[in-house]
Structure 1
């Protein structure tokens, strides 16, 4: 392998963290090969890709010597370790920044779940007719194609994904009873509430403590790459365009997360990022 490879998909929330890291840390175009895995067509369930990452997720970073980094956190960390101009401070040497990176990836406020799960009947109908419905349907087709003849090492994984995706697709396309709808809507709102608590709590605390626009201070660093990726998807999940000014973007998030005010330091973080080249060229959303 002549160059390292980053497996990506433009519609994936987490691939933007390593893409921003690449742009911010001095890599030249082409230093890292970008290989697209079309999640919208279920290409991540192809057994050939599962050989690269048995979890069937992106990003995946593969070095020239074949070492694989199969999570967002490990991919970003390795990209920065090899970067021409890494951030001044390694987030993993700072307890609070290391902790917030892990919290950003906490399933309790997973932006992927918030993308899929509706909060009420109107939201369910809109998602069924929009990107979510098409995504789930295409993924089900791919799983039905790959699962029957999959190698033994991947068969149970694919069959499990086929069942889970099928149940969610049926929720959107079928006629679930009131109990099922209420249970899922409650789960979705709990995710939104937890996202709001995280923004108003730990995120706000560390931004105030940093004495700058970013968690890392005056210039963004590793933790910021993860946070802006997460926050951008939270904002688009709230129904706002990804390049919207903070007054529009955070108002929508505020309403979705209980209505309590979001501190201006979060607006400063957002507005600083939307002006950065790495945010614009990588289509962070």
Structure 2
């Protein structure tokens, strides 16, 4: 705890206008993050890349412990580091969605290939969740109400974490998961970036996928993809849904998004084709059931 207290730096809305796109988008962003406070670059693991941000509103002591949305987002399995993504204003907006709706928002940076191949992503998800369970009370969050949101490459890391208990830590359980436009089983026609993470030997891809472990869990899942996704991504989502619905556990909630320009876009206004309302419904369902 002392290390966390030393590292903790509270700031208000601190979006760099130089990173913003058009002026009207910056104005919308400011409105969406009004009254949201951020705690930046908190270390959750041994690597310098293992950092996370936390977003809250109001005095955390004013209400009972709040649900936590953990965003694991990344468009690729490869890169120099995850810091650029974790600092992105568009990911901040997704955190602000969580904070505005009575939750604590957390976004995590994680190690990337080729320096950190499989299963580094799943292990980092486990380490981040363990950190949250141990420390989120400092931000008014509930350690028993963590919903992990995996986006794009991050969706595989969350799914892999769920499907491989051997990568989980003693205190890294989650109450629910949202998986958005992910690849859940690599194939022989994997892209160069996927091979960089999964390895060049395609014979190992099945054991390095989220299957069959993810079919054996009881964790509530919201599964989503976009009508504008590549056919391969849509097929991955549809196949995961089919297998889960035919498993002995449960059929996931499913949402088809109208677009998927960014993590922020899928949590836009709570109307058709958005993840906002389905995610809130999942959180309410978990709260009602008293999970985990």
TM-score bracket for this pair, using the shorter chain length = 0.3 to 0.5
TM-score (structure 1 length as normaliser) = 0.33
Point out the structure with the larger strand share: 2
Bigger Rg, which one? 1
TM-score (structure 2 length as normaliser) = 0.33
Point out the structure with the larger helix share: 1
Q: Which structure carries more relative contact order (alpha carbon 8 Å, separation 6+)?
A: 1
